[in-house]
Amino acid sequence: MKVAFFFLDCHPFGHSRRLIEESLRLCKEDKFCFYLRPEGVHIVSPRTLSGKEVVTYRNPFLALKELNERKDIDAIVVFDLYESFVESLVKVDFQKEVLFYNASVSLLPFDEKLRLLACKGYTFLWEHEIAHYVFKKHVCPQGVSGVLPYPIPSDIEVNVDDQVFDISFPGSFEERKGASVFLHIIPHLLDAGLELKATLLGHERLIGELAKYRGKVALKEGTDNSQEEFLQELLSSKIVFCAYDPYEHSFAGSGILKECMFYGIPVVATEGCLLSYYLSKFNGAWIPLNNRIDKELICSTVLGAVQIYDKLKEKALEAKPRVKAECSSLVFIKRLLDSIRKKREEEVSLDVPEVILKRAESYFFFSKANISYRRHEFEKAEEELNKALSTDSGYWRALILKSDILSRKGRYEEALSYLELAESNPLISPLNKAHILVKRASLFERIGKKTYCLKTVDELKNWRFYLSSRGLEELLELSSAKDNEIVKEVLNDSTNYLKVLKNKTYKVRFLLEAIYAGLLIGNSVSELVFNLLKEIDFVSFHEEVLFRTDPLRLKNLFNEIFILLAKRDEENIAKLLLTVFTRLYGKFAIEDPLYLYNLASLYEKIGDLDNAERLFKEALSKNFYNEAGIYFHLGEIALKRGNKKEAQEYYHLCLSREPGHGLAGKRLRELEG
């Protein structure tokens, strides 16, 4: 039997890299072949690749079709399936055994798409029992599903003479892992004389705030070069800080937590989530965190853990064999191959505490609601939100989204009450707190309570360091905030981030944010645009990989800037930004239908109708969700060219997709007399 391992993900950090490295390292015979994106090859050492059949691909759909036609392949294992790729796979009639292994659970909320694939009889393997439970209960009860824990290398050894750091935040510095909670307590932990370490790698504005501590906190720049390097970093710390989001991480697992238990490292971890379940299951060494917003309480918990470190370490070492028996790479590969050979579903026991199960299901329903909300399917979003809140009434992200929906209906007082409920949960993070304050200020402004709005904005000054990028944008859109010193303070923060960050990716990201903010408040942005062009030219290969594999925040910023420019008379800046965006996206080969749509809108704005038409049609061919919008723009282009008949056809197509499109209806009435 010959097995093909097909890796869709190729992040230079995190679980996808571990999966690639461990599969290549352990599957040495000619019974295996490996399909990787070109950038995936660069994150693996040449020694590991030596002697293996490695095939690189750029188009995953075509590569899988080709793989399906290979006579020498008996089974295909697809790692980390993307939602955007599911519909394409449904069209392929695989003639081989196919398994999907998803350490990430982000696919599950797209249950309608996933169900189409699951009903074809393919096997889905998940990292933990809760993902399996959600799949069987809410996605596809008749689907074939199982559990396969994340692999951890068991035969790698490094020499660490001493634990140099008291507390570390390993891996990418992300909010779902509690990044803003860690930032919240850094000054107090430094005052207590603790040695701290973190990794300067992530997406949000929090990276800039973390960089300000350079010289006081040991900051690791970029990714690990090997599993040995990551293990060296992990073992150099006494205790690892895991203040993970208890809802998202009742649904998603944590490779870092498993690795801490595997190598005998104590942790401070949020109670009532999948992390605490694992720690209890293996009788691991940990200190529970019951609050993520009270600075003094969090510090007290962390300092208490440091004081009893020797006792915790002893317990952690006792738990190591129990974790190794389930999570080692050798066990992972053996169970994976067994799943291929058996071709049947195994029984999975579920002994997870009810509170964790409820939080997981609440997050699942919230995720579905959030997807519907972004698609402007507000009734469907509210239906899923009601399920989320009936499952767990305290989930703050569901409460915030419910508030947004009520606000759209003009029910502002009710919307405010949901924000108050969200803010009362002691497990919210500082970033959640800042976001709630922005939302509250916005509601006060809408109902004309300017005094309350300004009071909330003043309160936000103490939390501004934890604003997400989206939260910052909402703040800048508040007319009341524009007259307040907070805007100047926040923009000064962003300018200072540019001074302390070395990574060009982050500089590009914050320059884009500065351009966005400047346009919002009416500042000149010409100099910023020229600086941005210079920074792009000096991005290194390693940073290019980050652009290609995780460009979400950059794409969102592009799209928001496009929208702003479409509303203003900024033709010169538009032309400069066209140079920026085409150079950046050309260099990093990123394709996205929303980017194409907004780029086409920008070409239309500056009068380049040929490029505008071409890109609108290209976005349409890539199944862009807003077909009505594209047809309206194509109608406008036809009208500008004087082709009234073609314009009428496009306006009719627009109305067939969105009957209530007012502008399309108006144009038709004008054209048809």
Min mean pLDDT across 90-99, 161-170, 517-526 is at 517-526
Average pLDDT along the chain? 84
Q: With contact defined as beta carbons under 8 Å apart, do 488 and 461 qualify?
A: no
| Alpha-carbon distance values, 161 to 196, 235, 237, 546, 667 (Å) | 18, 10, 11, 33, 75
pLDDT at 549: 44
CA distance 340 to 360: 29
CA distance 364 to 111: 10
CA distance 516 to 522: 10
Burial of 312 (0-12, 13-18, 19+ CB in 10 A): buried
Q: With contact defined as beta carbons under 8 Å apart, do 109 and 364 qualify?
A: yes
How far is residue 75 CA from its own chain's centroid?
30
pLDDT at 551: 45
Q: Average pLDDT for residues 401-420, to the nearest whole number?
A: 95
User: Where is mean pLDDT largest: 282-286, 382-386, 445-449, 667-671?
Assistant: 382-386
DSSP 3-state helix, strand, coil percentages of the chain (rounded to 5)? 60, 10, 30
Number of H helices, E strands in the chain: 35, 13
Cβ neighbors of 592 (< 8 A, separation 6 or more) are: 555
pLDDT at 518: 77
Q: pLDDT tens-digit profile of 607-633?
A: 889 999 998 998 888 777 678 889 999
Pure H helices in 57-212 = 60-69, 83-90, 111-118, 129-134, 179-191, 206-211
466: left (phi over 0), alpha (psi -120 to 50) or beta: alpha
Q: Average pLDDT for residues 524-538, to the nearest whole number?
A: 77
pLDDT at 228: 74
How far is residue 251 CA from its own chain's centroid?
14
pLDDT at 573: 66
Q: With contact defined as beta carbons under 8 Å apart, do 635 and 651 qualify?
A: yes
Considering only residues 154 and 431, tell me which one the structure prediction assigns the higher pLDDT. 431
Q: pLDDT tens-digit profile of 35-85?
A: 998 877 877 878 888 888 999 987 788 888 889 999 999 999 999 887 767
CA distance 282 to 320: 9
Min mean pLDDT across 228-232, 343-347, 435-439 is at 343-347
Residue with tokens 């209906």: 409
Quickly state the pLDDT bin for 550 (edges 50, 70, 90). Answer: very low
pLDDT at 539: 65
b/e per residue 641-667 (b: at least 16 CB within 10 A):
eeeeeebbebbebbbeebeebeebeeb
pLDDT at 552: 46
Domain layout of the chain by residue ranges: 3-151+331-336, 165-327
Residue with tokens 């107090």: 188
Pure H helices in 192-294 = 206-211, 227-235, 248-251, 255-262, 274-281
What percent of the chain is predicted at pLDDT more than 90?
Answer: 37
243: closest CA among 428, 397, 470, 505? 428
Q: With contact defined as beta carbons under 8 Å apart, do 602 and 594 qualify?
A: no
Min mean pLDDT across 197-211, 324-338, 476-490, 556-570 is at 556-570
Q: Do domains 3-151+331-336 and 165-327 have the same CATH topology?
A: yes
| Topology (CATH) of 3-151+331-336 | Rossmann fold (3.40.50)
pLDDT at 554: 58
Is the domain covering 165-327 a CATH 3.40.50.2000 domain? Answer: yes
b/e per residue 573-610 (b: at least 16 CB within 10 A):
bbebbbebbeebbeebebebbbbbbbbbbbbbbbebee
| Alpha-carbon distance values, 414 to 287, 371, 374, 378, 379 (Å) | 38, 23, 22, 17, 17
pTM of the model: 0.82
pLDDT at 644: 93
> Strand ranges (DSSP E) for 255-358?
267-270, 286-289
pLDDT at 187: 96
**Per this entry, what is the length of the chain?**
673
Query: Is the model's pLDDT at 8 over the cut of 50?
Result: yes
3-class DSSP assignment, residue 329: helix
CA distance 178 to 245: 6
Q: How many CA within 13 A on the CB side of residue 638?
A: 19
Q: Average pLDDT for residues 269-290, to the nearest whole number?
A: 91
